[in-house]
Amino acid sequence: MSRGKLIFITGGARSGKSNFAEKMALSLGKSVAYLATGQPLDKEMADRIKKHKTKRPTEWETYEEPIEVRELVSSLGLEKEVILIDCLTLLVSNLLLREKNKVGNPQWEEKILLEIEKLTEISYQVPAQIIIVSNEVGMGLVPDNPLGRVYRDILGRANSIIAHKADEVFMMISGIPLKIKG
C-alpha cells in the first residue's frame, strides 16, 4: 500500500484556509471525507456549521467528530482518496476541555500532543491524501487568562508537530496561499 501525502494549511482566522483546503481536496480526488471537529455548542456556532455544510460538494461525506479524529482517519484513509480535517484548532480545544480540571497539568498537555503525534503517524499509514487545517496562533495577542495561554501554547506546539511532519505546508495570508514547505 502506498502512503498518501500530508498537507497542512495554516493562517489567521478568516484568512481563507477552509476555502483553499476545499479547493485542494477537489483537485486531489473525487472520493472525499470531510472531518468536521466543530461542535454546535451555541446558536452562533450551529449557524456557522450549517453555513459550512451548504458550501461543500454534495458527494462529499461529512463526519462530525470532535475528539476521535485519528480513529476516523485510520478507517476512512483506506477507502477515501482525500480526507480533509477542518480543523486542528477545534480538535485541540475539544481535547483540552474534555477534562477541564486537568488544564495546566503538564502530563495532560503532553497527552494531547501525543494524540496529535499519533494523528500524523496514522496519516502516513493510509493511502489517502490528508489535509489538515489549523489557525496560526503565534502571531496574535497573548491571552489575558491562564486557560487561553495554555490553549495557545498547546495549539502552537500541535501546529509545529503537524508542520514538521507534513509533506507540504501552506500559510494563508489575506486569502492568498503561500507555500512554505514541500
Q: Is residue 14 part of a domain?
A: yes
Q: Is residue 122 part of a domain?
A: yes
Domain that holds residue 114: 6-181
For residue 92, give the 3-state DSSP assignment: helix
Whether 96 and 142 have beta carbons less than 8 Å apart is answered as: no
List active site positions.
52
Number of domains in the chain: 1
* pLDDT, tens digit (0-9, with 9 covering 90-100), for 127-170: 999 999 999 998 888 889 989 999 999 999 999 999 999 999 99
> Cα dihedral sign for 11, 163, 39, 36?
positive
* pLDDT, tens digit (0-9, with 9 covering 90-100), for 27-45: 999 999 999 998 888 898 8
Q: Which three cell numbers stand for residue 124?
A: 502516513
Q: Is residue 103 part of a domain?
A: yes
Q: Which three cell numbers stand for residue 46?
A: 450551529
Beta-ladder partners of 171: 10, 178
Q: Is residue 23 part of a domain?
A: yes
Q: Is residue 37 part of a domain?
A: yes
List the CATH number of the domain containing 114. 3.40.50.300
> Which residues lie closer than 8 Å to 143 by C-beta, 6 or more apart?
149, 151, 152
pTM of the model: 0.94
Q: Is residue 1 part of a domain?
A: no
* pLDDT, tens digit (0-9, with 9 covering 90-100), for 72-121: 999 999 999 999 999 999 999 999 999 888 888 889 999 999 999 999 99
- Terminal-residue alpha carbon distance, the chain: 22
